[in-house]
């Protein structure tokens, strides 16, 4: 926590209070850097998952090339980007994995680390995690 960060946060708060409303709200997709940003994020996330012993075994029999594609599509759709998701539903994709709470949180932590590594801001990180977290009950202990 640097002084700069605190100043930054208060500036944001101050700005948001008095900013004119004509500014078109950027989608979360834009905030993530569009397709290019999401591609970078996807690569960083896969690197994090591969390096995490809590997560890596889940990918033992997964086609990483396909995972990379549908993961990016999913992030794009969830963040209101102009994409179509071609993968399975979250419930179908995780059925039979018996994903437990610790593993789910490990995936969240790795994604957070990935977002930090590609310089996604904390508010944008939080917004994406909030949207992704909605599927938690669909995928846990299935």
Partner 1 sequence: MIANSVNPSSANVCMRWAIAFFFIAIAHAARAGDGRLIATGGATEVEGSAGGGLVPWAVLAGYGTRDEIGGSVFRTQLQLPDYRLDAYGGAFTIDNRVEFSLARDRFDLGTLGKAIGMPGAALRQNVMGVKVRLAGDLVYGDLPQISIGAQYKHDLDFSIPKLVGARHDSGTDVYITATHLELAALDGYDLLWNLTVRSSNANQFGLLGFGGDRGDRRWLAEGSVAMLFDPHWAAGVEYRQKPDHLSFAREDNAADVFLAWFANKHVAVIGSWVELGSIAGLARQRGAYLSLQGSF
Positions that interact with partner 1 (CB under 8 A): 1, 5-6, 9, 12-13, 16, 100-103, 105-106, 108-109, 112, 121-124, 126-127, 129-130, 133, 136-137
- Rounded to a whole number of angstroms, the minimum distance from the CB of residue 132 to partner 1 is 10
Residues 6 or more apart whose CB falls under 8 angstroms from that of 101 comprise: 140
- Rounded to a whole number of angstroms, the minimum distance from the CB of residue 86 to partner 1 is 27
The 10 Å Cβ neighbour count of residue 142 is 15
Are 112 and 125 contacting, i.e. CB atoms less than 8 angstroms apart?
Answer: yes
Nearer to partner 1, 64 or 133 (CB): 133
- Rounded to a whole number of angstroms, the minimum distance from the CB of residue 69 to partner 1 is 27
- Rounded to a whole number of angstroms, the minimum distance from the CB of residue 101 to partner 1 is 4
| Three-state SS letters, 96-118 | CCCCCHHHHHHHHHHHHHHHHHC
**Run of H or E residues at 74:** helix 64-78
Nearer to partner 1, 17 or 84 (CB): 17
């Amino acid at each position: 926590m640097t002084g700069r960060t605190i100043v930054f946060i208060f500036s944001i708060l101050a700005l948001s209070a008095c900013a004119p409303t004509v500014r078109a709200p950027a989608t979360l997709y834009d905030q993530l850097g569009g397709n290019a940003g999401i591609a970078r994020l996807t690569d960083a996330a896969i690197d994090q998952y591969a390096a995490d012993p809590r997560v890596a075994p889940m990918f033992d029999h997964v086609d990483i090339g396909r995972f990379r594609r549908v993961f990016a599509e999913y992030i794009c759709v969830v963040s209101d980007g102009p994409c179509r998701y071609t993968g399975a539903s979250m419930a179908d994709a995780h059925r039979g994995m018996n994903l437990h709470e610790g593993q789910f949180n490990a995936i969240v932590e790795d994604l957070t680390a990935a977002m930090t590594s590609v310089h996604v801001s904390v508010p944008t990180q939080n917004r994406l995690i909030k949207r992704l977290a909605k599927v938690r009950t669909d995928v846990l202990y299935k």
